Amino acid sequence: MQNISVPDWMTLLVFACFVLMAVAKLLNSQRFNEFIFLIVSNKYFLVQGKNTEIFKPFNVLLLLVQILSVSLFLFLLSTHFFESVTLQNTIIFIQITGFFTVFIGLKFYIEKLIANLFSIDSYINQYLYHKLTYRNLIAILLLVINMLFMYAINADTLAFTLVLVIVLLLNLVSLFYSYKTYEKLISKHLFYFILYLCALEISPYFIIYKIVMTQ
């Protein structure tokens, strides 16, 4: 990342993320506290797991934080690895945000379509709820890292690589816990599970990687 002052719009984005989290906490303070401590306790799913409806205000607010936080990190990543991208390129950030939003939206729609096709909606709803919750939590951690890169650390390639590895490992751990929850169901439909894993959890990210690397 280029060593220049951080534009005001990026600071406003960080502020917006904290506002969204504050509203989520106001809506349900106990649920928010259980969510934050999910990294050390499974109480959140034990208490809130019965209601797996994704498009509740609480979940939507944290999903917005995820979109902004991940998009901001990808933008910072772009400014480091591509000389043509600077912190002033708000259009690039908007494009990244739009692409990421469409990506997770399409992925969610396809997963719901598959669930409906095989009549396993209840299981997929729980799985998607677990996965969304974990990724919202990871996004908050990523927001803290974004702030460090923006205001405290002149991040180099090693720093960005380390963060990418940590995020990847956290995602793998969260997926492991989600899959472990439905271990019996997966063992009964192992072939379909492997197809799902390859088609929706590996291939999309591999395709994106190939597209970016060819630019």
Rounded percentage of the chain residues whose pLDDT exceeds 70: 77
**pLDDT-derived band at 68, boundaries 50, 70, 90:** very high
What's the pLDDT tens digit per position in 11-64?
Answer: 999 999 999 999 999 998 988 988 888 877 777 776 665 566 778 899 999 999
DSSP secondary structure code for residue 201 in this structure: I
Residue 198 has pLDDT above 80, yes or no: no
Q: Tell me the two tokens of residue 63.
A: 């999903």
pLDDT recorded at residue 2: 47
Q: How far is 132 from 172, CA to CA, in rounded Å?
A: 13
Residue 195 resides in a domain: yes
Q: How far is 206 from 204, CA to CA, in rounded Å?
A: 5
Q: How many domains does the chain contain in total?
A: 1
Residue 2 resides in a domain: no
Q: Which domain holds residue 197?
A: 8-214
Q: How far is 156 from 125, CA to CA, in rounded Å?
A: 39
- Residue 44 CB: number of other CB atoms within 10 A? 19
Residue 3 resides in a domain: no
pLDDT recorded at residue 92: 93
Q: How far is 135 from 132, CA to CA, in rounded Å?
A: 5
Q: What mean pLDDT do residues 127-152 have?
A: 91
Residue 39 resides in a domain: yes
Q: What mean pLDDT do residues 77-82 have?
A: 89
pTM for the whole structure: 0.87
Q: What mean pLDDT do residues 90-111 have?
A: 90
Classify burial at 35, counting beta carbons within 10 Å of its beta carbon; exposed 0-12, middle 13-18, buried 19 or more.
Answer: buried
Residue 1 resides in a domain: no
Task: Name the average pLDDT for the chain.
Answer: 83
Phi first, then psi, for residue 136 (nearest 5°) are -65, -40
Residue 201 resides in a domain: yes
- Name the residue type at position 167: V
pLDDT recorded at residue 47: 65
Residue 141 resides in a domain: yes
**pLDDT-derived band at 148, boundaries 50, 70, 90:** very high
pLDDT recorded at residue 200: 67
Q: What mean pLDDT do residues 158-167 have?
A: 92
Contact 43, 84 (CB under 8 A): no
- Say which residue, 28 or 180, is predicted with more confidence: 28
Rounded percentage of the chain residues whose pLDDT exceeds 90: 38
Q: How far is 23 from 1, CA to CA, in rounded Å?
A: 32
Place of tokens 């816990």: 177
Q: What mean pLDDT do residues 180-186 have?
A: 68
Cα–Cα nearest to 1, from 112, 96, 77, 114:
77
Residue 140 resides in a domain: yes
